[in-house]
Amino acid sequence: MPIDKVGVVGCGLMGSGIAQVVAQAGCHVVVREVSDELVAKGLKSIEKNLQRLVEKGSLTEAQRDQTRGRLRGTTSLDELRDTDLVIEAIIEQLPAKKELFAALDKLCPKATIFASNTSSISITEMATATQRPDRFLGLHFFNPVPVMKLVEVIRTITTDPKVFEEIVGFAERLGKTPVRTSDRTGFIVNRLLVPYLLDAIRALEEGVGSIEDIDKSMKLGCGHPMGPLTLLDFVGLDTTYYIANVMFDEFREPRFAPPPLLKRMVLAGWNGRKAGRGFYDYTDPQNPRPMQLK
């Protein structure tokens, strides 16, 4: 039986995007947040995205209504009890994730597959909170989820190969391009991306170029859609700092060590676009201005 009922836990930036693409692909989705306010906020952002697709002509009004009809928000974990697959996209904290998966393990039938959208936490360690390490894997989406084609599918040494291939097929059903990878912190993308982003900060610290020139160089010199400092603001400096620390803990290699400027910006709360400032000031979101950081 193909996967039909999907639970998504967390309806923030990633969770709402995941819930949207899964519902658009024809699955029934229950998305859970911890408060009514957060459920409403997440569903509102999905609604905005669907409406934008209708306005652009890439979704008909009927398809939008069908997608809406397949999507339900809740604050109760109980409503995920009869799902075929649960995708977790909550805060990047191991204890919170383990607690959630332990609760889901008691609630869901043995056949339900558990997946985490974590960008850096060990999938194997999360699976230890459950009695189903064979039906547990990583499913890592990229921001913005409705736009980015890639999904990393992450196997642990305990993941059943049949379950792994089933989820690779599921990612294809979502219209995504899956890549197969293993449970090594950062997987493929962040393993390569994080040292690059940290190096851009080091280049700025060393005065190699201004914020704008570093970004311009990688956009125009390498054809990247965003320069590294803009991308850092987009991903979130706090998120990048967290991932870098987890990767440094795992590998003990200087290339993963967060540079002092990143740490200080996170301490100051300058976490990027969502905080209104990072490497750029977003007072006018259409016209970000580089910050004076020295």
Residues tagged active-site: 119, 140, 152, 190
Nearer to ligand 3HC by Cβ, of 28 and 219: the residue is: 219
CB of 151 to ligand 3HC, least distance (A): 11
Encoded tokens for 6: 């999907």
Q: Which residues contact 231 (CB under 8 A, 6 or more apart)?
A: 197, 224
What residue is closest to ligand 3HC based on CB? 119
Residues 246 and 239: their CA atoms lie apart, in Å, by 11
Tokens of 198: 């940290």
- 37 by Cβ neighbours in 10 Å (0-12 / 13-18 / 19+) ranks as exposed
Whole-number Å distance between alpha carbons of 238 and 252: 20
Are residues 102 and 9 in contact, defined by beta-carbon separation less than 8 angstroms?
Answer: no
Distance from C-alpha of 16 to C-alpha of 12, rounded to nearest angstrom: 6
Single out the residue of 255, 138, 245 nearest to residue 195, CA to CA.
255
Does residue 225 touch ligand 3HC according to CB under 6 A?
Answer: yes
Q: Does 56 bind ligand 3HC (CB under 6 A)?
A: yes
Minimum distance of ligand 3HC from residue 56's CB (angstroms): 5
Q: Is 184 left (phi over 0), alpha (psi -120 to 50) or beta?
A: beta
Q: Which of residues 104-133 bind ligand 3HC (CB under 6 A)?
A: 119
- In the numeric block, which tokens belong to residue 197? 């982003």
Q: DSSP class of residue 48?
A: H
Cα–Cα distance, 229 to 85 (Å, whole number): 36
Considering only 114, 142, 256, 279, the residue that binds ligand 3HC (CB under 6 A) is 142
- Please provide the distance, in angstroms rounded to a whole number, between the alpha carbons at the two ends of the chain: 59
- 177-206: which residues touch ligand 3HC (CB under 6 A)? 190
Query: Between 144 and 269, whose beta carbon lies closer to ligand 3HC?
Result: 144
- Find the part of the chain contacting ligand 3HC (CB under 6 A) among 140-148, 159-167, 201-209, 279-287: 140-148
Q: Judged by CB under 6 A, which stretch of 103-111, 125-133, 136-144, 273-281 contacts ligand 3HC?
A: 136-144
- What is the DSSP pairing of strand 113-116 with strand 150-155? unpaired
Rounded Cα distance, 245 and 251, in Å: 10
Which CB atom, from 147 or from 293, has the smaller least distance to ligand 3HC? 147
Closest distance to ligand 3HC from the beta carbon of 106 (Å): 29
Mask for 25-54, x = binds ligand 3HC (CB under 6 A): ------------------------x--x--
Stretch of 138-146, 155-163, 256-264, 273-281 lying at the interface with ligand 3HC (CB under 6 A): 138-146
Based on the shown chain and the rule CB under 6 A, indicate whether residue 235 belongs to the binding site for ligand 3HC. yes
User: Given the complex with ligand 3HC, which of 136 and 242 has the nearer CB atom?
Assistant: 242
Binding to ligand 3HC (CB under 6 A) within 143-172 occurs at: 143-144, 146-148
Site residues (vs ligand 3HC, CB under 6 A): 49, 52, 56, 119, 142-144, 146-148, 190, 225-226, 231, 235, 239
